[in-house]
Structure 1
Amino acid sequence: MAVTAPGGPTAAIESVCLTVPDLDRAADFYRDALHFWPVGPRLPCNPDRIALLGVAPECTMRSQTMRLGAQTIELFAFDPPGQPYPTDSTASDLWFQHCAIVVDDIVEAVAGLNETEIRPITQGAPQTLPPNTGSVTAFKFRDPFGHPLELLAFPPGVGDALWHAPGADLFQGIDHTAIVVSDVDSSARFYEALFGFEPGGRSTNRGPEQSRLDGIADVEVDVLALTPRGAPPHLELLGYRAGRRRARPSDWTSRDQAITRILIAVDDVAAVTARLDPSWPRHRGTWDGAEALALQDPDGHALIVRAAL
């Protein structure tokens, strides 16, 4: 067991961190194609970040925070860079993680994206899913570096009230980040016990719309929402019953571009550490001067746990 006891401190998802090969090009893409705006300059990272991530000290790292609405992503670029994102990745691989971006008009948003360097995952037009999923309309694609992303449009009365404010921009913010897991219930226990995330809506998604959305034939996937403090964004667990479901390769390094990290702010890092089984791998240090912990969840998804500022 990764976690020794139920319970745990409340926590908030502060950001999702993407590893990119070219910081300037990535920041320009997210600004121009998805309407994110930079927060502060593009600067070399503090040495404590490099140490916490387990990167060799001779490597350098730059980052750029990008904001959309009230949510942020952070772009990490290492020199030398790691391996590129695997070109044969699918939506059911266990390293898959996407950010779901809410849009006001998904047809207009996709039309604009199709003029950029994206690579679609979804087959054809945006897909409107059945009522058991909330009748949301979605479109999945990859950025120029291979990272999967999703556009979401909510019908009236569905989703967070934040996404139904009058006069919304075309690109509104990040609703959730979703990770593929080998066992939804086991992963839910990990996040509930370690961070106090609360289970929300659950569904089993199948049918032609879901297959076209994921680019996987005859797909069937269990979806469970986990709500942290201060959502959105929240976390979604995706348990595919069909598809390749490949595990994260053991030779990946912290600099590889398929490594996406969730930055989680907690009240007490020591309490999180105490909840972990003593044998569970973790690295303690600081992140921008705050007490921090780097670890992986049961399927290898990378987490940065930082004391709330």
Structure 2
Amino acid sequence: MTGLRIAAIRLLCPDPAATAAFYTAAFGASLAAGGVALGAQTIELAPASDRGGEPAPSNGTDFQHCALVVADMEAAYAQLSEVPGWTPISRAGPERLPARSGGVSAFKFRDPDGHPLELLAFPPDAVPPVWWDRTGLFLGIDHTAITVADTERAVAFYAGLGFRVASRGLNRGPEQARLDAVDDPVVEVTGLTPPGGAAPHLELLCYRAPGTVPSPCADGSPLATRIVLAGGSNLRDPDGHRLIGNSKIPLDRPFAV
């Protein structure tokens, strides 16, 4: 699996055309076959076959967000604020995290279908090289983050697919609490790079406190986001997150356990 990479993120939507319209208005995304493109990355938009339930909290196992890199947080937040339909997760607007948590500015929210998203701005002196030559306000998708109950169990699963650990950190404090809308969080943050490299990468979020909450949802729910891999098979990771081998696999094909 040396060339395996995250080819796209697939979101299930009650009305994919309406979701595409939101992404083009809010982020300047361009329409692409089967979804939208943000920079060099793709979000596939497919019909949901289930109405779903209440969105998982940030520390729920079905919580999965896409982090959208922005060149200017204030301008990006202002543009988002002009587009109706989304709901905030973060309690007090964009947050600047302390240096021990990367010093990034971030804001979490849900699109009109309930899919979690994050605006992410890096400090000027710490912008990853992949974003150096990108232009515009919304540059692309840096990572997709999933909440897990056990970091090492999740790392072992993804290592079996060829992912490698690129970073480890421990986020805590009032800024993280406001960002995640979780009281007194202590979050293990582990970055995983797919063997094929290139953005987006995968991020594991394990809540040591107040703990990760099991929150399963049906395969056809709008909350059942897929990670689309270039190569591989339909799989579930140990926490139930869904991976599919390529964008041509039908939605009703079963997942392995």
TM-score by length of 1: 0.75
Find the counterpart in structure 2 of residue 262 from structure 1: 227
Deviations, residues 168-198 of structure 1 (Å, cap 9, x unaligned):
20111000000000011110111011x2111
What is the distance in 2 between the residues matched to 1:14 and 1:224? 20
What is the distance in 1 between the residues matched to 2:10 and 2:213? 22
The answer to whether the Cα contact below 8 Å between 2:142 and 2:201 also exists between their aligned partners in 1 is yes
The answer to whether the Cα contact below 8 Å between 1:85 and 1:145 also exists between their aligned partners in 2 is no
Partner secondary structure for residue 219 of structure 2? coil
What is the distance in 2 between the residues matched to 1:204 and 1:10? 30
Query: Is structure 2 residue 134 aligned with structure 1 residue 141?
Result: no
Deviation at 1:244, TM superposition (A): 6.1
Deviation at 1:201, TM superposition (A): 1.2
Deviation at 1:243, TM superposition (A): 3.7
The answer to whether the Cα contact below 8 Å between 2:206 and 2:212 also exists between their aligned partners in 1 is no
Q: 2:173 aligns with which of 191, 197, 207?
A: 207
What is the distance in 2 between the residues matched to 1:105 and 1:247? 35
Deviations, residues 67-122 of structure 1 (Å, cap 9, x unaligned):
011101101114xx3023414x2111010000000001111111221222110111
Query: Is structure 2 residue 30 aligned with structure 1 residue 37?
Result: yes
What is the distance in 1 between the residues matched to 2:227 and 2:213? 21
Consecutive unaligned residues in structure 2, runs of 5 or more: 248-257
Identity of matched residues, %: 44
Q: 1:15 aligns with which of 8, 33, 43?
A: 8
What is the distance in 2 between the residues matched to 1:95 and 1:159? 29
Q: What is the aligned residue count?
A: 246
Task: Note the aligned Cα RMSD (angstroms).
Answer: 1.8
What is the distance in 2 between the residues matched to 1:298 and 1:306? 20
Find the counterpart in structure 1 of residue 57 from structure 2: 90
Deviations, residues 232-267 of structure 1 (Å, cap 9, x unaligned):
100000001224632233xx432111100000113x
Find the counterpart in structure 1 of residue 251 from structure 2: none
The answer to whether the Cα contact below 8 Å between 1:18 and 1:73 also exists between their aligned partners in 2 is yes
Which structure is larger by alpha-carbon Rg, 1 or 2? Answer: 1
Q: 2:81 aligns with which of 99, 114, 133?
A: 114
Q: 1:300 aligns with which of 235, 240, 243?
A: 240
Partner secondary structure for residue 45 of structure 2? strand
Letter in 1 for 2:4: A
Query: Is structure 2 residue 6 aligned with structure 1 residue 66?
Result: no
Alignment of 1:100-111 (within 5 A): 100-111=67-78
TM-score by length of 2: 0.90
Letter in 1 for 2:165: P
Query: Is structure 2 residue 93 aligned with structure 1 residue 125?
Result: yes
Find the counterpart in structure 2 of residue 152 from structure 1: 120
The answer to whether the Cα contact below 8 Å between 2:97 and 2:104 also exists between their aligned partners in 1 is yes
